[in-house]
Structure 1
Amino acid sequence: MQLEGTVLRGRAFEPVEGRVVVEDGTITAVEETTTDSTDIILPAFVNAHTHLGDSIAKEAGGGLSLDELVAPPDGLKHRLLRAASTDEKAAAMARSLRMMEHGGTAACLEFREGGVEGVDVIRQALDGRDIEAVVLGRETADAMREADGFGASGARDAEFGELRAETADARKLFGIHAGERDSHDITPALDLDPDFLVHMVYPEPEHLQRVEDDEIPIAVCPRSNLVTGVGVPPIRDLVERTTVALGTDNVMLNSPSMFREMEFTSKLADVPAVEILRMATINGADIADLNYGLVEEGRDAKLLVLDGDSDNLAGVQDVVRAVVRRAGMADVKDVYL
């Protein structure tokens, strides 16, 4: 297979006119050459933080605080999840996964509520889909063993030291929410030596230094943070210290659209568009050790093709900036997963 157009090549997303050659699902060449295509070829997205179970209750709980919405065990989300049947949850998640596929998302890092049953439900929702989910079980060690790792709610909610050790022994991924409401749970989260942190709205200087020294990646979810009223993360400060990836968080609060997350982040934070595109692609892939997120030789061919001649994108002067700040699902021409 060969794709032609403007290729956003490598980690710098350098726009080059040319073609991408794919053999057996792997990118074997990125060639500069003259083409007649107006397509824009870029890596498919990696959504670094999702809660897809919330798909059963989109826009529920307007006006509630963060704790009232999502705090375990009796936040609105958890009560709605307990009340829904397995088939209802699987069907709702499958619809969100399908939307993400159509919007060019190759994978998501899913914090999966419900113990072992919750892990089973998302496996059911993924059946027949091309999108991948790096599933982080929650609540029990058994859920971690059935999943790809463990996703902790936050150091203020429980003691996670034993689960962290078991996850490390299993050589699986450990992520934890930290600094979403305030800074109080960041130090205990860092003491767990996590593979990555989520949110970090309220890091203090000493936290930023530890993140930099220990090279701990962070998944930020600025749309979600604004909706829940907790503020917004200091994205530029975080980017200057470590690897930062973008997530869309709870489907109850926001659509799982990486286009919307990129645009919002770009217009909110003083961060170059090329860095935000990395946050939406390779940075999330690096956290989960996935072999995609860039258009370069040797990477899995998880690719997104945009129509560069759409009414929205025709005439753009800065292609990367246009992808980050302007493009949307209506501009998607093809998705290769």
Structure 2
Amino acid sequence: MQLEGTILRGRDFEPIEGRVVVEDGEIVAVEEAGVHSDRIILPAFVNAHTHIGDSIAKEAGAGLSLDELVAPPDGLKHRLLRAASQDELIAAMRRSLSFMERAGTGAFIEFREGGVSGVEAIEAALDGLAIEDVVLGRETLAAMEVADGFGASGARDGEFGAERTATREAGKLFGIHAGERDSDDVNPALDLDPDFLVHMVHLEALHYERLDDEETPVVLCPRSNLVTDAGVAPARELLDRTTVALGTDNVMLNSPSMFREMAFAAKLYDVSAREVLGMATVAGAEIAGLNAGVVETGRDARLLALDGDSDNLAGAEDVVRAVVRRAGVDDVTDVVLGD
């Protein structure tokens, strides 16, 4: 198959006119040529931090603090998850996942509550969908063993050492929340040598020094951090030190739309549109270990096409800026996730 239009090529998202040729789920050519298409072709998004189980409780808990909303084991979301049946949980997650796929998300990294049954629930919700999942179990080592790794809450007082050791021995991914509520859990999290950190809002000079040395990747969730009054992460300082990706976090708090996350990040942080697009695509792919996130030969064909002549995008003079700050689900014409 071929997709023609303005291609945002490579890691720099250079706009070129041409076509992307796909065979057997792989990009086999990116050809610069004159074509007659208004489409804009870019990598499908990688949502690098989600809690899809929260789909059963959208917009619940208005006015509650961060701990009251999501702190384990008895935050509001954990009580609602326990109260839901497996069928209710699966049905709600499937609707969110279907929306994400339709809105151009090709892959996501999920922190999955509920132990083994929670991992099984999201795998059931994914049945028949093309979106690629990287599921990190929580709460038990058994959940890690049936998943792609372990997703930890904030480390304090030596927590999660056993889980980190077991995950490393299994050759799986270990991610952890850090610096969301305060800075106290950042050093303990870094001491675990995680594969990536989530949030990193509250940082001190020592943490920047450690990131200079260790370059641990970070996932930012700007909309979630403002909804929970966590604050604004130092995105510029983090990007200058390490790989930084974007995630939409709890479905309870925000729509799992990477279009919305990009637009918000571009207007909140001191970063360029190209940097934001990289955060939404190739950075998340690298954290997840996926061969995606870039339109170039040899990458998996996980692509998104937008209507550049839609009422929303027509007349854009800076295509990358328009995609990041202006584009939305209604502009999507094609989502290619494989052949």
TM over 0.5: yes
TM-score class normalised by the smaller sequence: over 0.9
Between the aligned residues of both structures, percent identity stands at: 73
Give the 5 Å matches for 1:1-337. Answer: 1-156=1-156, 159-337=159-337
Q: 1:229 is paired with a residue of what secondary structure?
A: coil
- What is the deviation of 1:156? 2.9
What letter is aligned with 1:172? K
Residues in 1 aligned to 2:230 and 2:59: alpha-carbon distance in whole angstroms: 18
Distance in 1 between the 2:158 and 2:309 partners? Answer: 52
Deviation digits for residues 260-309 of structure 1 (CA, Å, limit 9, x no counterpart):
00000000011000000000000000001101100000000000000000
Distance 1:85 1:128 in 2: 21
Counterpart amino acid of residue 316 in structure 1: A
The structural deviation recorded for 1:137 is: 0.2
Post-superposition Cα deviations, 1:106-141, rounded to whole Å, max 9, x if no partner, equal 011000000001000000000011111100000111
* 65-74 or 212-221, which deviates more: 212-221
Distance across 2 between alignment mates of 1:133 and 1:187: 29
Which structure 1 segments of 5+ residues have no match? none
Q: Is this contact kept in 1: 2:179–2:200, CA < 8 A?
A: yes
How many angstroms does 1:232 deviate by? 1.1
**1: CA distance, partners of 2:215 / 2:63:** 37
- The one-letter code of the counterpart of 2:107 is A
Query: Could you say what secondary structure the match of 1:92 adopts?
Result: helix
Q: SS in structure 1 opposite 2:275? A: helix
Question: AA paired with 1:212?
Answer: D
SS of alignment partner, residue 245 of structure 1: strand
Segments ≥4 residues shifted beyond 2 Å: none
Provide closer, same or farther for how the CA distance between residues 146 and 158 of structure 1 changes in structure 2, counting only shifts above 3 A.
farther
TM-score by length of 2: 0.99
Deviates more, 1:151-160 or 1:40-49: 151-160
How far does residue 157 in structure 1 lie from its aligned partner after superposition?
Answer: 8.3
Question: 1:158 offset after TM fit, Å?
Answer: 7.0
CA–CA distance in structure 2, aligned partners of residues 158 and 319 of structure 1: 47
Superposition CA RMSD, Å = 0.8
Aligned AA for 1:229? D
Question: SS state of the match for residue 118, structure 1?
Answer: helix
For 1:319 and 1:209, the matched residues in 2 are separated by 36
- Residue deviations 1:13-60, cap 9 Å, x none? 000000001111100010100011010000000000000000000000
**Mapped contact 2:158–2:188 kept (Cα < 8 A):** no
Matched residue type, 1:233: A
Q: Could you tell me how far 1:191 is from its partner in structure 2?
A: 0.2
Letter matched to residue 15 of structure 1 = P
